[in-house]
Structure 1
Amino acid sequence: MEYKTLGKGDVKVSELILGCWAMGGDYFGATEDTSSLEAIEKSYELGVNTLDTAEIYGSGRSERVVGEAIKRIGRDKLSVISKVFKPSMQHDKMIKACEDSLSRLGTDYLDVYFLHYPIPEEEVSIEERMSTMMELKKAGKIRAIGLSNFSIEEMKAAMKYGDVDVIQPCYSLLWRYDEELVKFSAENNVSVIPYSTLAQGLLTGKYKKDAVFTDGRAKAALFQPENYNRCLEVTDVLSEVSAKYGKTPAQGAIAWLLQTPGITAPIVGAKNGKQAEENIQASGWKFSEEDYEIINAASKKFTDSLPNYTLFFNTETAD
């Protein structure tokens, strides 16, 4: 396992980051805290020192689970990421939201704190949002500032008012709208930690054509009938190439991202220790240049055909 420094600061993260969204037990369906803790402990045992959560995940439940893991493992051994959600962007509300997250996590600082989503300027200006983040950083409550789901234009606006150390876009073999954002970040020494690395399971190879989903994914763009089966065609190519290396399609999807220029450390979720162990086997090897490009071409053929969706989680378009 390799470790990377975020942006211009001194926060170090493992090259794979454990995503703790599912541990909230809402969007992806019910989960057991014991299994979630097993996933965290197994990940740490195998070298993953970085946990990604947010106040909105299970209305604080994910943060509480991560807080229990921090108690067991030790705060000084982990890098902890959390995020502030849209209703808490005004100065006083953000200060309180950060304190509440710290309380649930059982720590007095966050390694990274993210603005989880952009909001309209007329609601709370980016100057106020970033100034509050800088205030939290100066007070030692957070060590690095991140932006999640921001466009290049929104990112540039934020950079006028404070440090941006890391961004968190949705990015995978099936979702590549932010290629220019990744390039811009690399040019400006901003780290990139993408989420939905496995496209919420579509790149794992475990789903069959014409499957029906009843959890949060039922509304997501890629799970709609016009896209779903075509997604699995990309997964078929990924599966075939990954098998040459003795790897699963999920491991191949993660490894592809690890090889992609500009990507710092993908976020990968796990619901239990077995999934965590399987994900970590994506680290420590590489595709040949030829095989990387075979997968890349299948990916681009699909993503270039998609409408201009604004978010992974619904079917709204910018057109």
Structure 2
Amino acid sequence: MEYRKIGNSDLELSIVTFGSWAAGGWMWGGTERKDAVEAIRASYDLGVTSIDTAPVYGQGLSEEIVGEAIKGLPRDKVQILTKYGMRWDLAKGSFAMKSKNNAGQEIEIYKYAGRESIIKECEDSLRRLGTDYIDLYQIHWPDETTPVTESMEAVQRLIKDGKVRHAGVCNYNEDQMKEAESSIDLVSNQVPYSMVNRHIEEVVIPYCLANNKSILAYSPLERGLLTGKMKPGYQFSEGDHRAAHRYFNGNSMQRVNAFLDKVKPLADEKGVTLSQLVLRWTVEKPGITIALVGARNAEQAVQNARAASVKLSADELSFISRELEDLKI
């Protein structure tokens, strides 16, 4: 496994980091707790020491699963990344979405990052995770109803109290990052990035490169689309958010699979899967520090972890990028 330093901090994360959104089941058609725990542990055995989660993933379930999975592991050998600012139990802030929890009950999600809410969320996360500190604490989405300074000062207090080591943001643009940095030392921005979703290359990546901020890329396999395992007509489980997403309609799937067919000979030549090829290409892109990758079971987790050992030459990376130029979805 390869590890990279985050921003200007002493925090190092595995370039393949376990993303536990799907492990929480919410918006993914449910979850099998035992499989999720085994997936995290299988990843750790192969050097994936970093785990990203959030309270809203399964409304606490994902954090509980992570806590169960890391129980008994040396705490200083695991890096826990979690978030704050998405409340399903408090109707305050800006409304984000209507949804259903894992029991099928209607819930409403709000973006809220007020001072006392952050302090409460941190305590709840520490309890669910079974730890006394969080390595990287990230605001999940910008909250337009709370001054950024108020949110960041709350996190600074948590750092002072030893409950948080480092501060990060998620889904922030460069202006929002600048504003947050006036109150706290930000080390990272977690944003979506994949072969089919590269808009951050325009401004966010250049900003982060110029200011020594790490980018944690989420959905690098575009929620399974870039694995080569999803074809037009694919049937999603009830409650799976991908069923209504434009990336997963028949035309998009057809275009993506045509691209994957072009690069598959390279994967075959190296004896790796398409997913592993895609993940390695992702972490080789300038500005991308790590890739967050989800897994529903140990087999998927092992395959993801092994992407770190894939080697791609400059010519091979250029070949993949050239083929991507024709892919528009």
TM value normalised by structure 1: 0.90
1:71-112: CA deviation from partner (whole Å, max 9, x where unpaired): 132322200000113344000011101110111001111000
Alignment of 1:150-229 (within 5 A): 150-179=172-201, 180-214=203-237, 215-229=240-254
Provide the rounded CA distance (Å) in 1 between the counterparts of 2:68 and 2:310. 32
User: Which residue matches 2:35?
Assistant: 35
Separation in structure 2 between the aligned mates of residue 245 and residue 51 of structure 1, nearest angstrom: 28
- Over residues 193-236 of structure 1, what are the superposed CA-to-partner deviations in whole Å (9 max), with x where a residue is unaligned? 10001100011111112434351112323123453322222322
- Whether the 8 Å CA contact 1:88–1:97 is kept in 2: the answer is no
The one-letter amino acid of 2:227's match is T
| Residues 114-153 of structure 1 mapped to structure 2, 5 A cutoff | 114-120=138-144, 123-153=145-175
Query: Aligned-pair RMSD on alpha carbons?
Result: 1.6
Distance of aligned partners of 1:126 and 1:232 in 2 relative to their CA distance in 1, 3 Å threshold: same
- 2:25 aligned residue: 25
Percentage of identical aligned residues? 38
Contact 2:18 2:48 in 1 (8 A): yes
Give yes or no for contact 1:238–1:253 (8 Å, CA) kept in 2: no
Pairing partner for 1:108 from 132, 152, 171: 132
- Structure 1, gaps ≥5 residues long: 307-319
Q: What is the distance in 1 between the residues matched to 2:231 and 2:246?
A: 17
User: Distance in 2 between the 1:224 and 1:250 partners?
Assistant: 20
Unpaired segments of 5 or more residues in structure 2? Answer: 87-110
CA distance in 2, matches of 1:125, 1:229: 44
Q: Name the CA distance, whole Å, in 2 between partners of 1:259 and 1:137.
A: 31
SS of 1:301's equivalent?
A: coil
Q: Name the residue aligned to 2:95.
A: none
1-side partners of 2:301 and 2:222: how far apart? 16
For residues 224-280 of structure 1, what are the alpha-carbon distances to aligned partners after superposition, in whole Å with 9 as ceiling and x for unaligned?
A: 345332222232233232222111110001010121111111111111111111112
Instruction: State the secondary structure of the residue aligned to 1:264.
Output: strand
Whose strand proportion is higher, 1 or 2? 2
State yes or no: 1:90 paired with 2:122.
Answer: no
Q: Matches of 2:130 and 2:57 in 1, distance apart?
A: 17
Deviation, 1:138, is: 1.6
What residue number does 2:8 align with?
8
TM value normalised by structure 2 = 0.87
